[in-house]
A and B are shown apart, each in its own frame.
Chain A
């Protein structure tokens, strides 16, 4: 590789497409295709054309959470742009240009917040300088508003008119950011930029990529986790009309065809003998047994305060319970897919991925190509929820495309998607709580056993309450089942365990569950306030119709504090009805209130699926469930009334895609207890567990 690059490749501010301002530090010229070592400053977010059009690049993946609107709003705010002239552009993957493009952990806004504000403010500062120089006045006599630089005399120039002059200036080292009170765009419910295309069918997801000469493929994968192809007979598959080629990808056999349907049909005609590997006899019962055996002894201590074991022994009242959480699948509406075109010296990929940079580097590794020879376009994602943080589906497409002389789209069937997910871990939790004679906690012991990932099993176990002494210890076991980030990760199940158990302690103390929590949250003022707002908005304490119960839960996570109150009733046959969910959130400064409300509603429904729909079970080393008939989803008929309340806050900015999920299942289970006296200690909530004798 030629390392003696021309200086022109390292222009700090390069003039592109005639006279325009492209703000980017050390932005390489696109033509030479080289990746210089100095290409590190992730600030290529803004392009202003002489016409006045402002193009703002979104480097994160849009999966429904609204980043194609919220991130440009941040840039536009500091830029003082005219929002009606803003055009949003999805960036390709790039190893360094934009910082991390990984989209997860409810981190897009709070992780990009400072950088994007800086990007906008820097461009604004340069436009002001350009105007001041044009007029021969002091920059301090100039202000900006809606795409104009305005001098105190009243004369003004548009950003478009200033673009060329600004492009010749050097980038200032530091700029002043706005004060929150001066925000004009942030805090407004601006319409999402991607809605019109999503109601006409013109929005392009990964599955919608169409290229000249493109072929369609689907892979018959080993049903057992970790299994491989031993041998196969593809004679019949090759005779299926439309089938073009068969490719062995080690963990499965790909059928490449003229159409998706022909590829699916070709798969059915394959005869494959599998080497099922070491997990061929794994079962859900076996996994549970493994956990039950493990928790007999103390595991690795994850967190503690004081001597909780001694405090428990000497407590006036002891409460003990076991909480069981099953495996959960993501089930994004768009099944996994990816399109790749591999040529001798390069590769082009179109992927609905949450990890574009990881996917790009994995493709480069598989193909033995330098990173800059792999172009990865980020498409719209038909749901993500953590599933698309894994790049297995991108690897599939690259492996198949490597063997095919055309662009190939590899699509997973719904059944593949359900049976080859990276599941939320199943966990087994032994809870022990000690109360003093007044009913206040003096000891909290949480022993958890779970699979594969310490972070995903343990996250969210530390109680937010002042329980005096506590200890969390864990056993992390290998079960053969792939484990991954499932919307709200650790807190998604540990929020349920912690918030159900504190409820048990409140009832053991014969105290009101809301008041009990409130008294114990003095060290978490933000969460306490969310709890109080949720209780107030829900009318906590007011009588409910006979047969109904009210439950509360509060969980802190992803930089935000959220509390929910659920109102439920249970039929004699155990059928659960969730009537109303009130949700209060403190997520700090608000970018777009409508997006926040939408995410609260969305997280609540996502939580409902794991709370009272189906579970993923394992038999013979494989997932039993395969489609939406045996892994069903909440539907419109299941919907409660959802009321979202955003608490005005100047605290640090928090995430919003995930945090509303953890409080839902405990609020519902606590409400079930209030309505029926039955304590739910295993998920999903089953009618047989709620049936009245």
Chain B
């Protein structure tokens, strides 16, 4: 069995697997990171979404051999303590119901916020093409706006502090 060295959540992981094995199953069965979920195996539902070099990627259709030295981030690696602005917004807005798809939803939203700090409703609809069978879509949309706003407020606050520091060192 060939050996692959992956970078997952900042750690090097060497795995011996069939080269065609989708990243999803390497994460879940070989490495033991079960936060990334299997939903359809065909890239339709998005429950398996992770970041590959920062891009939202459906891990169920990405063969491990095609990964090269790209960096993988899973829901477990999004923040060290569950404090990513999206995770906080998800809690504040009580988004999850069964919760099964939410790892993928949060990872897709995180990639969106990296590209667009303050996405419009249209941006969110276009990016968030994932299935939630509990129908939490309206709350997901709201939570993304809440996270975007909280991040922006923080940035504004930081800028203001910087200015003050500049005035009076």
Q: Which residues of A contact B (CB under 8 A)?
A: 63-66, 191-192, 194-196, 198-205, 207-208, 210, 216, 241-242, 258-262, 264-265, 331-335, 380-385, 411, 413-414, 594, 598, 601-606, 608, 627-629, 633-637, 639, 641-642
Contact = CB atoms under 8 A, between A and B. Distances in A.
Contact of B29 (A199, A261, A331): A261
B3 to A, nearest CB: 14
Contact of A414 (B39, B75, B97, B101): B39
Task: Identify the 7 closest CB pairs spanning chains A and B, nearest first.
Answer: A201-B35, A605-B135, A382-B100, A64-B98, A198-B99, A64-B97, A201-B75
Given A199-B91, A639-B137, A642-B138, A333 B30 contact: no
Nearest to B29: A259
Contacts of A65: 97
B91 A191 contact: yes
A333 B37 contact: yes
B90 A606 contact: no
Contacts of B129: 635-637
Contact of B131 (A242, A413, A635): A635
B25 A627 contact: no
Contacts of B132: 333, 605
B141 to A, nearest CB: 7
Given A195-B90, A200-B87, A636-B124, A332 B133 contact: yes
Given A200-B87, A259-B30, A601-B135, A380 B44 contact: no
Given A333-B101, A629-B44, A382 B135 contact: no
B102 interface: yes
A210 B103 CA distance: 19
A216 B25 CA distance: 11
What is the size category of the interface that chain B forms with chain A?
A: 35 or more
Best-buried of B33, B95, B132, B141 by chain A (most CB within 10 Å):
B132
A341 B105 CA distance: 33
A109 to B, nearest CB: 15
Contact of A207 (B38, B86, B141): B38
B124 to A, nearest CB: 7
Given A195-B96, A200-B35, A601-B135, 9 more contacts: A198-B99, A210-B32, A242-B18, A261-B17, A332-B100, A332-B133, A333-B133, A604-B135, A634-B137
Given A199-B106, A333-B39, A605 B137 contact: yes
B34 interface: yes
Contacts of A637: 125, 129
Nearest to A413: B41
B28 interface: yes
A241 B17 CA distance: 9
Contacts, number: 181
B94 A191 contact: yes
B91 A260 contact: no
A383 B100 CA distance: 8
B94 A261 contact: no
Instruction: Determine the main DSSP class of B at the interface with A.
Output: loop
Nearest to A633: B131
Given A204-B34, A634-B135, A636-B137, A199 B128 contact: no
B82 interface: yes
Nearest to B127: A636
Contacts of A381: 98
Nearest to A240: B18
Contacts of A203: 99
B107 to A, nearest CB: 9
B96 A628 contact: no
A382 B137 contact: no
A261 B133 contact: no
B58 to A, nearest CB: 12
A333 B39 CA distance: 6
A419 to B, nearest CB: 13
6 contacts: A64-B134, A199-B82, A201-B36, A201-B76, A259-B25, A603-B135
Contact of A601 (B1, B101, B138): B138
Contacts of B90: 195, 199
A17 to B, nearest CB: 30
A662 to B, nearest CB: 15
B40 interface: yes
Given A331-B133, A636-B140, A199 B40 contact: no
Contacts of A598: 94, 97, 136, 139
A259 B21 CA distance: 10
